[in-house]
């Protein structure tokens, strides 16, 4: 099936006879594979008598060689999957199997992609980026302080490098474009955080997606913001380069070195917000972040800091 997809990915018409010859199968077998592509991957394929078959839109498939071509320096080892439950889950499995970090896990589609607080992450085939970087962390908790915020900065700068202008950060793990979510970040930890552990940096970026009724919040995509298709292999290479640079700074200087620049990029700085944890809600004004990446809020005239994986920040209706 994937051999057929590679033949069709250019978005041009291909006759059933030519496809069958290239695959070494009959035209009826080609027809069955086409039906499978449509139903399994939710792809639209045009069928025109006398011309053949054509994908409704060209596909830019992930390839290790293409990523390496764009990379500056030595790229991380990369595992690319056509379909997987979740790139973060696969990263955790590879750690358990003894795979040496750092390494990357990418997928064309996730069947069980997830975001923070267990929310599903919609993952259509070959449209977006599902990216998990696995790192070994030595030296204890300091190496983890503010890590997700540093990843957010690296993603924001990557999007800016691709021509997106109105992008910024929302505490703790979101990147917004024109006020709408374009990226989610999910960090997962395994091992002893006080000694040696591994962390999986999961990043989902809406890249070429143009419409999806499954998403229950306002969202944006790189294609929608920049007005053109984005080469996802190029995106992987630039994002990896940005992460290498920022993670190196974080290892050397800690999150305190990023505090001011993160606050400058925080879209809700100085805004009235609600901090939600389960059924409880704290009202305040967003002041920024502390040296460990916790949210600083002014609550009833008093500055307080908050941190934790189950917290969610929302704008107040009167903000």
Q: How far is CA 225 from CA 174, 183, 207, 230, 268, in A?
A: 17, 13, 10, 11, 20
Pairing, β 196-205 against β 180-191: antiparallel
Question: Is 116 annotated in some ligand binding site?
Answer: yes
Exposed / middle / buried, residue 180 (Cβ in 10 Å: 0-12, 13-18, 19+): middle
Tokens of 159: 């999007």
Q: How far is CA 227 from CA 29, 61, 181, 224, in A?
A: 38, 20, 17, 5
Question: Is 69 annotated in some ligand binding site?
Answer: no
Contact 202, 187 (CB under 8 A): yes
Question: Is 142 annotated in some ligand binding site?
Answer: no
DSSP string, 205-260: E--S----TT--S-B--HHHHHSS---HHHHHHHHHHHHHHHHHHHHHH-GGGGHH
Q: Which of 109, 116, 170, 232 is catalytic?
A: 116
Q: Which of 109, 157, 181, 232 is catalytic?
A: 181
142 annotated active-site: no
Sequence-distant (≥ 6) Cβ neighbours of residue 257 within 8 angstroms: 249, 250
116 annotated active-site: yes
Question: Is 114 annotated in some ligand binding site?
Answer: yes
Sequence-distant (≥ 6) Cβ neighbours of residue 173 within 8 angstroms: 116, 148, 151, 152, 184, 185, 186, 187
170 annotated active-site: no
For 315, phi then psi, to 5°, come to -70, 140
Question: Is 86 annotated in some ligand binding site?
Answer: yes
Q: Which of 93, 119, 314, 316 is catalytic?
A: 314
Question: Is 248 annotated in some ligand binding site?
Answer: no
Contact 70, 233 (CB under 8 A): yes
> Which positions make up the binding site for biotin?
86-88, 110, 114-116, 181
The residues assigned a catalytic role are 116, 181, 314
């Amino acid at each position: 099936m994937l051999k057929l997809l590679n033949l069709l990915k250019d978005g041009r018409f291909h006759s059933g006879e030519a496809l069958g010859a290239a695959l070494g199968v009959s035209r009826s077998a080609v027809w069955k594979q086409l039906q499978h592509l449509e139903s399994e991957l939710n792809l639209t394929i045009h069928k025109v008598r006398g011309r053949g078959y054509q994908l409704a839109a060209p596909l830019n498939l992930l390839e290790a060689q293409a990523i390496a071509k764009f990379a500056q320096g030595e790229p991380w080892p990369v595992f690319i999957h056509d379909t997987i439950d979740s790139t973060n889950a696969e990263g955790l499995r590879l750690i358990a199997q003894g795979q040496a970090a750092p390494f990357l896990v990418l997928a064309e589609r996730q069947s069980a992609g997830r975001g923070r607080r267990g929310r599903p992450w919609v993952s259509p085939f070959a449209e977006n980026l599902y990216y998990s970087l696995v790192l070994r962390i030595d030296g204890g908790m300091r190496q983890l302080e503010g890590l997700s915020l540093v990843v957010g900065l690296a993603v924001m700068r990557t999007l800016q490098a691709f021509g997106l202008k109105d992008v910024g950060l929302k505490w703790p793990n979101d990147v917004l474009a024109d006020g709408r979510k374009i990226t989610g970040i999910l960090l997962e930890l395994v091992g002893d955080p006080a000694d040696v552990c591994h962390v999986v940096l999961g990043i989902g970026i809406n890249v070429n997606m143009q419409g999806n009724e499954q998403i229950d919040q306002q969202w944006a995509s790189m294609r929608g913001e920049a007005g053109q298709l984005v080469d996802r292999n190029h995106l992987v290479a630039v994002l990896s380069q940005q992460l290498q640079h920022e993670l190196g700074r974080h290892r050397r200087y800690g999150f305190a070195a990023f505090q001011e620049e993160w606050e400058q990029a925080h879209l809700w700085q100085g805004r009235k917000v609600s901090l939600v944890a389960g059924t409880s809600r704290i009202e305040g004004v967003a002041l920024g972040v502390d040296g460990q990446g916790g949210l600083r809020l002014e609550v009833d005239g008093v500055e307080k800091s908050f941190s934790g994986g189950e917290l969610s920040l929302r704008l107040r209706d009167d903000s």
